[in-house]
Amino acid sequence: MRNYIIKRIIISIGILFFVTLIIYTLIRCLPTSYVETMAIQLSSKPGSKPYEEWLAQLNASYGLDQPILVGYLHWLGDFARGNFGDSWKFTVPVVEEFKSVIGVSFVMGAISLILQLVIAIPLGVVAATKQYSRSDYIISASALVGISLPTFFFATVLKLIFAVKLGWFDTHGLVGRTYAQLDSAGQFLDMCAHLVLPIVTLTIVSVGSLMRYTRTNMLEVLNADYIRTARAKGLSESKVIYHHAFRNTLIPLVTIVGGSLPGLFSGALITETLFSIPGIGYVSYQAMVAGDIPFTMFYLTFIAILTLAGNLISDVLYAVVDPRVRIA
């Protein structure tokens, strides 16, 4: 087991190397809009150097005059030593900006994941046990509707109904206008109120796939021989389903949920942007659009690490949860 994990981690590091190389090359090949914009600004000041000189100076100071491969190795060395550089757009160290925004994203993701589990698993089990019934049709159809909902459209509809027409929530931001005057409990409640719509959006658009996954696995388990045996020996239907079948359905569920845990830190780019929640998704969107290379590189590498970690966790959990699986 330990050997397996070590082997996987080594492979993952190899993959990460190539992924970051590809991303770095891609970003460097693009027109460096940020540096150009800054050079234009600086050169337009009275008595300033011409644009070309500023551009050359800025490129040199940001390390953009090196060839791509050299630049990449330079970046990699810094990254390995834990030096992630300073964000151009936010003009603070990348890590500092990251630390200040990751909390909100994590809270949003975690609450949404809990809600998804609470909604999806019971409904998925019900749909599978009553296959082809009216409730199965309704659950399956609404799961597909959730998957098919465009996040931005659904979020806008929610905003229109609950923020504009009913006026229950604000349309944008994490804190309200009166935030500074509230006491700490009030501030907490204010933040919670601002997170309601984003979390509802996140939950609704992603609950569908988990629901379908539960249903599919439950159906598979219900067709297994040991279920037939359990029924044959005269167990009550509820015992068959909730004692024998459901436990076995949990195996794939645990692995997929375990695999999605690292994803809680990756933020919800679209949802956060739509609701202007200052989480990692929104901040990195701003950084990407502004051409902020250090922050973008950090974010993309971070996401890649999270993906790899998720895969690794789900594979390992699979072996841990299911005693039939042996990892060589």
Applying CB under 8 A, which residues contact other proteins? 11, 14-16, 18-19, 22-23, 26-27, 30-31, 33, 132, 137, 140-141, 144-145, 147-153, 156-157, 159-160, 164, 171, 223, 269-270, 273, 284-285, 288-289, 291, 296, 299-300, 303-304, 307-308
Please report how close the Cβ of residue 141 comes to other proteins at its closest, in angstroms. 6
Q: Give 191 or 309: the residue with its C-beta nearer to other proteins.
A: 309
Q: Residue 229 Cβ, how far from other proteins at the closest point, in Å?
A: 19
Residue 49 vs 285, nearer CB to other proteins: 285
Nearer to other proteins by Cβ, of 189 and 256: the residue is 256
Q: How far apart are CA 157 and CA 162, in angstroms?
A: 8
Say whether 22 sits in a helix, a strand or coil.
helix
The CB-of-88 to other proteins minimum distance in angstroms stands at 14
Element (H, E) at 141: helix 134-148
Give CA–CA dist 46/262, Å, rounded. 50
Closest to 89 (Cα-Cα) out of 51, 37, 42:
37
Measured from the Cβ of residue 22, the count of other Cβ atoms closer than 10 Å reads 12
Closest CB to other proteins among 20 and 249?
Answer: 20
**CB-nearer residue toward other proteins: 48 or 135:** 135
Helix/strand/coil for 1: coil
Residue 75 and residue 214: Cα distance in Å, rounded?
43
Cα torsion 76, 77, 80, 84: sign:
negative
Least spacing, CB of residue 186 vs other proteins, in Å: 26
Minimum Å gap between C-beta 289 and other proteins is 5
